């Protein structure tokens, strides 16, 4: 008797989840967007073919199977990011699926999403204080680096306390471009 092999559910999930993805061309390079029925789940910078394949493999493992069409949040996320990059959107409304983060990192990212609006910046220490972990500024930096939803959850708005730009998973030039788009830094001359 033949039985079909069902993929193991991702750790912490109730079983396989429907998800879909697309690649969006933007002024900061291609972004891979992945969404579930719950919301936008991941944004990947510099989504060339190699990086896209790696991200899709990880997402298939995490969500317990291959992508499936018909995830409305993906269209919403792509439309909102397009409007953001054209200067027409300052606040995202696409629902977010926070399942790719947890614990301290999730608390910090929620505080960032809720408290740091378009065109503003905060320091790592501000977010550490905001989540009640005064000595955790370095851990906040690690949380920014693990952000599965960059741009939408605006880790580019977190800067160093010494006035420096700080680090950024998408690269410092990408961070500068995002901050210039929001009017925090002057636009690059070339």
Q: Is 119 left (phi over 0), alpha (psi -120 to 50) or beta?
A: left
What residues does 158 pair with on adjacent strands? 122
> For this structure, is 155 an active site residue?
yes
Q: Which of 155, 158, 177, 178 is catalytic?
A: 155
The CA distance from 62 to 151, in Å, is: 22
The CA distance from 141 to 169, in Å, is: 10
Helix axes 103-115, 137-145, angle to 10 degrees: 90
Catalytic residues: 155
């Amino acid at each position: 008797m033949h039985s079909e092999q069902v993929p193991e559910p991702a750790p912490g999930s109730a079983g396989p989840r429907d998800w879909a993805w697309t690649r969006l061309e933007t002024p900061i390079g291609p972004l891979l967007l992945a969404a579930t029925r719950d919301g936008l789940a991941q944004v990947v910078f510099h989504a060339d073919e190699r990086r896209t394949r790696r991200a899709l493999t990880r997402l298939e493992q995490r969500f317990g199977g291959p992508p499936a069409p018909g995830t409305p949040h993906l269209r919403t996320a792509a439309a909102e990011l397009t409007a953001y990059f054209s200067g027409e959107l300052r606040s995202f409304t696409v629902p977010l699926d926070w399942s790719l983060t947890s614990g301290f990192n999730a608390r910090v990212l929620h505080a960032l999403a809720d408290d740091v609006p378009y065109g503003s910046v905060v320091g790592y220490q501000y977010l550490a204080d905001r989540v009640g972990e005064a000595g955790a500024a370095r851990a906040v930096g690690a949380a920014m680096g693990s952000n599965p939803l960059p741009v939408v959850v605006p880790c580019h708005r977190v800067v160093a306390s010494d006035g420096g730009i700080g680090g950024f998973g998408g690269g410092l030039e990408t961070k500068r471009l995002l901050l210039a788009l929001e009017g925090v830094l002057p636009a690059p001359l070339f």
